[in-house]
Each structure stands twice: as C-alpha cells, then as structure tokens.
A = this chain, B = another copy of it.
C-alpha cells in the first residue's frame, strides 16, 4: 500500500480530530501515512484554503487523501467535504442520532476545546492539579498529602512522574508521588507523612531488566543502574507494598494512559473532568 496523506481538520485545536483519526489509523497497520493538522478552520476563507490543500495533495500524489474533520458549522463542513478526499466528519456522523435521542437541537456552535475555556472550572482544576503534581513530585518540597487524591509510590524511574502529570492534565486528579529509597528499605517503615495517608497509596513496580535499561538510557551511571541494585530495590519495594497492603501494578508493558486508567479503575477515584 502506498503512502496516503491524512488531514486532521478542525474549527478548534484539532485535538479531537487527531484523537479520532489516529485511533482509526492504528487499525491499518501496514499503511504509511503523512499527517497534516489544520486547526482553527473557523471561516469560509480558511475552509476554502483547507479544501485547496486537500485537492493539491490529491493531484500530486494521485490518491485522494483521508480527511478526519470536526467541523461544527454546516457551511464550513460543506466546503471541505466537496474537496477531493475521503471526508469523515465526526459531528456529521453522530450529532443527528444524539439530537433525536435528547429531543433537542445541538447548538452547532464551535465548541471551545471540549468546554475547556481559559476561565472554566475544568480549566482551573486542570491547572491546579498540574501545579499540585509538580510541587508534590518525587517526595520533594512541601508534602501536601492531605490534598492528594492518590499518592504513587515506587522506586526511581518506575513511571510515577509522567503518570501524575497525565492524571492531572487529563482528569484533574490530584496525584502526588514519593520515591522509595534505601531509607525505607532499611527501616522497613514508611515515612510518617505517607503513613498518615496509607489509604491513598498506590504502588508501581516494573520489570528489573526494563528498569535497568531505562536508568541506563537516562545516563544514570554507577551503582544506580546495576542489575544488583535494580533487583534489590524492586524486591524491597514489593516487600513494602505487601507489608502495608498497598495495591500495586507492574508498569513494564504499559503506556502512561494505561497506568492512569488502571489506577482510576482500581481506586474508584472520580475523574474531575474528561477533556
């Protein structure tokens, strides 16, 4: 199969069009795609410009491109849909059935990125949760664990920081994290700050070989990334998880999204929003 050009076209940021298109494209493994995002297509002029780009791509490549679109306004959608591409519009497909079910007309207004405007509640929560994750990262700084929805614990480089940031940005969840080190392994205890919030603790572990590889790639040299050290830390961390009844998961084969969803599912934590 030859290369195809894929357009993601939106009257807003294009994030929905990209998410929507990408998850469909992953179903076509062997294919090669050239990807172009055209955001903020909010006027007839811009829609016509997008249509020209689609037509040009079709002419040059001799294959019509695939167009994933999230255009709310009928007239803009109409313009882009007339271009020489396979036009797949998200609102086109689903707004009709939804309107009939809810027995109400949709607003057909350009959706500010998922209702996430700069002054909305969801937006404020996202910023606060992100700041929270940053200041309560890696056990450093003030430990404001009273405010935490969840506190991730695990050895260094087990995936705690990106997961906390992702949960903050994607769901507005307040996630802190604390790295387990020699201090905990030797004492067999949790620090008092953590112990006071034991019901919020969630453990991450990871395969020893994978952890060693990650630490080496980060150019963390010396004892820190030896097989012996990595093995020791992981064994001790899992001992602590068991001793204190901390639920834990193995992140070796998981993406950040998967770790985050799994934690939310296990804990039953409410998402503060869905962007």
Q: Which residues of B contact A202 (CB under 8 A)?
A: none
CA distance in complex: A12, B261 (Å): 9
Q: How many copies does the complex hold?
A: 2
In the complex, whether A35 has a CB less than 8 A from a CB of chain B is: yes
In the complex, whether A248 has a CB less than 8 A from a CB of chain B is: no
In the complex, whether A24 has a CB less than 8 A from a CB of chain B is: yes
Interface residues of A in 76-133 (CB under 8 A from B): 86, 88, 90-91, 93-95, 97-98, 101-104, 106-109, 111-119, 123, 126-127, 130-131
In the complex, whether A190 has a CB less than 8 A from a CB of chain B is: no
> A-side interface residues toward B, CB under 8 Å?
1, 4, 8, 12-16, 18-24, 26-31, 35, 37, 39-40, 64, 66, 70, 72, 86, 88, 90-91, 93-95, 97-98, 101-104, 106-109, 111-119, 123, 126-127, 130-131, 134, 161-162, 165-166, 169-170, 218, 251-258, 260-262, 264-265, 271, 274-275
